[in-house]
């Protein structure tokens, strides 16, 4: 399968090639236009009629003349290509420049998966499994804000700016949600020390059992939990103008810097989208038996359970982009949806080490790793609203709002089995060989994010 890096690299090379072609066409057209405009300005009709003058009043609009008879000539001079047509709607171009680059800082808030209880304390030693209280887990994780960035670049493919090619990449950083008990012999609650344990469903006994991490007079140890998620996406698409209009409310010549000037443009976009979502839940504990009366005195125990959910989307990206401007202000509303295949991968990795070598024993290691993969249809709708202010002819500041939803994804936390219904729960790495492995079921959920962004756009 082609990697995301190779896809982005190919898209960038394509853009550079098109930019080079567009630049050469633009230079040639400018030379032809200048000669043609000069000819139109210097020409006069026979019989002593007045000379037609040419004046360009806006980077958005055709050049105006003092005579309606010259409108076709000056319009052709402005569009710089006889194939562009002669109506202002056909040749509406928006802000000046054939190429653009946009950079944005984004801050999104996401909804994360729900963790089962992973670290607990026991309030009643006479009834350990019936008096558990959760220290970490039994809640949603990876919620809250994520920082990231988005870059976008593109170019127009014709002089009228009705066809263009565009690409983007955005990256949302990890949001870690961690727990660390520290080295301890129990959980301290208001001066009272209670055992700190890890509950799990023992696949061999088919019952809830406990792994003691810090237990007064019995075990001294440490448990850590790390969760993280990471999201990135890239795409490339063609842009085509469906509708355009520009007008003024004071019946004067339109100038895009005047408050009276307004424009409306609707473009269709269609192309390719790649998205990747990966998250982890890693649980690790180490403890030593400190009970001198126990036959396992000074035995070291190490347990690790790693859960990973990975999603890779490849599909078509289609949508509409509507831009309304008034003077230097603009409102850009982009609605689109990605439709395609999501490659789902769930990795369950368990490790158990029992080291009794300090008292003349052996080191026993139990490891089990399972990887499950399948393809499934997925949809990624997205809504973006951006307000911009044109600072100069070529530079615009912007701020806006993003909302994104991704259906049919797998998350690591959804595959931590507290019952033997799915996945590799803690404690199953040492399943006797005579027992079959626990059944596995893909537990699908969704990824949802919304947030704000600020940035700027440069056109040249």
**How does DSSP assign 66-125, residue by residue?**
SSGGGHHHHHHHHH--GGG-SSTTTT---SS-SEEEEEEEEEEEEE--EEPP-EEEES-T
Q: What is the pLDDT of residue 272?
A: 97
What torsion do the CA atoms of 321, 327, 329, 333 make, to the nearest 10 degrees?
-20
Task: Indicate whether 46 and 103 sit together in one domain.
Answer: no
- Residue 321 has phi, psi (to 5 degrees) of -125, 115
- Which is nearest to 115 in space by CA: 135, 136, 86? 136
Task: Indicate whether 74 and 154 sit together in one domain.
Answer: no
Q: CA–CA separation, 455 vs 443, rounded Å?
A: 38
Task: Indicate whether 249 and 352 sit together in one domain.
Answer: yes
Task: Indicate whether 111 and 76 sit together in one domain.
Answer: no
Task: Indicate whether 283 and 348 sit together in one domain.
Answer: yes
Task: Indicate whether 199 and 51 sit together in one domain.
Answer: no
Q: What is the pLDDT of residue 212?
A: 87
Residue recorded with tokens 């890239």 = 234
Q: What is the pLDDT of residue 185?
A: 84
Among residues 67, 91, 115, the one where a domain terminates is 91
Task: Indicate whether 446 and 391 sit together in one domain.
Answer: yes
Report the number of distinct structural domains present in the chain: 2
Q: Give the β-pairing of 163-172 and 219-248.
A: antiparallel
Task: Indicate whether 82 and 210 sit together in one domain.
Answer: no
Task: Indicate whether 431 and 398 sit together in one domain.
Answer: yes
Task: Indicate whether 349 and 406 sit together in one domain.
Answer: yes
Q: What is the pLDDT of residue 93?
A: 56
Q: What is the pLDDT of residue 220?
A: 93
C-alpha distances out from residue 1 to 6, 22, 112, 170, 337, Å: 10, 32, 29, 21, 23
User: Which residues of the chain have a pLDDT value below 50?
Assistant: 1-7, 9, 12-83, 85-89, 419-433
HSE at residue 191, side-chain half, CA atoms within 13 A, is: 0
Q: What is the pLDDT of residue 128?
A: 62
Q: What is the pLDDT of residue 351?
A: 83
| Host domain of residue 117 | 95-459
Task: Indicate whether 87 and 102 sit together in one domain.
Answer: no
Q: With the C-alpha atoms ordered 291, 295, 300, 303, is the resulting torsion angle positive or negative?
A: negative
Radius of gyration for the chain, computed over Cα atoms and rounded to the nearest angstrom: 32
Among residues 91, 106, 123, the one where a domain terminates is 91
Task: Indicate whether 208 and 68 sit together in one domain.
Answer: no
Q: What is the pLDDT of residue 377?
A: 96
Among residues 31, 65, 91, the one where a domain terminates is 91
């Amino acid at each position: 399968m082609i990697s995301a890096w190779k896809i982005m690299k190919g898209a960038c090379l394509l853009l550079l090639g098109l930019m080079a072609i567009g630049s050469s066409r633009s230079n040639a057209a400018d030379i032809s236009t200048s000669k043609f405009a000069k000819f139109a300005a210097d020409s006069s009709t026979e019989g002593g009629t007045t000379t037609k003058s040419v004046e360009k009043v806006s980077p958005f609009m055709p050049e105006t003349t003092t005579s309606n008879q010259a409108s076709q000539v000056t319009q052709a001079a402005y569009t710089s290509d006889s194939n562009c047509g002669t109506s202002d709607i056909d040749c509406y171009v928006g802000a000046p420049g054939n190429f653009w680059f946009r950079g944005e800082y984004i801050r999104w808030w996401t909804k994360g998966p729900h963790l089962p209880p992973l670290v607990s304390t026991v309030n009643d030693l006479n009834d350990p499994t019936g008096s558990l209280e959760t220290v970490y887990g039994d809640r949603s994780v990876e919620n809250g804000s994520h920082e990231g960035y988005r870059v976008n670049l593109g170019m127009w493919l014709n002089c009228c700016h009705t066809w263009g090619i565009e690409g983007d990449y955005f990256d949302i950083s990890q949001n870690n949600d961690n727990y660390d008990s520290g080295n301890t012999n129990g959980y301290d609650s208001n001066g009272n020390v209670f055992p700190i344990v890890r509950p799990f469903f023992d696949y061999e006994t088919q019952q809830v059992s406990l792994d003691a991490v810090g237990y007064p007079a019995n075990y001294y140890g440490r448990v850590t939990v790390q969760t993280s998620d990471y999201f990135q996406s890239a795409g490339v698409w063609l842009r085509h103008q469906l509708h355009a209009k520009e007008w003024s409310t004071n019946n004067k010549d339109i100038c895009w810097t005047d408050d009276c000037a307004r424009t409306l443009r609707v473009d269709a976009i269609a192309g390719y989208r790649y998205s990747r979502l990966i998250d982890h839940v890693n649980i690790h504990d180490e403890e030593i038996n400190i009970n001198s009366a126990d036959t396992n005195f000074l035995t070291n125990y190490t347990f690790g359970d790693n859960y990973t959910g990975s999603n890779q989307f490849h599909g078509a990206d289609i949508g509409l982009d509507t831009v309304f401007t008034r003077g230097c202000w603009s409102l850009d509303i982009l609605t689109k949806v990605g439709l395609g295949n999501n490659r789902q991968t769930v990795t369950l990795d368990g490790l158990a080490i029992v080291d009794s070598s300090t008292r003349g024993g052996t080191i026993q290691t139990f490891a089990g790793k399972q990887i499950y993969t399948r393809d499934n249809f997925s949809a990624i709708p997205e809504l973006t609203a951006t307000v911009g202010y044109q600072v100069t002819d070529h530079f615009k500041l912007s701020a806006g709002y993003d909302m994104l939803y991704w259906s049919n994804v797998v998350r690591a936390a959804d595959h931590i089995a507290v019952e033997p219904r799915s996945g590799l729960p803690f404690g199953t790495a040492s399943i006797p060989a005579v027992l079959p492995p626990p059944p596995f079921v893909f537990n699908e959920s969704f990824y949802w994010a919304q947030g704000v962004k600020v940035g700027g756009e440069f056109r040249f």
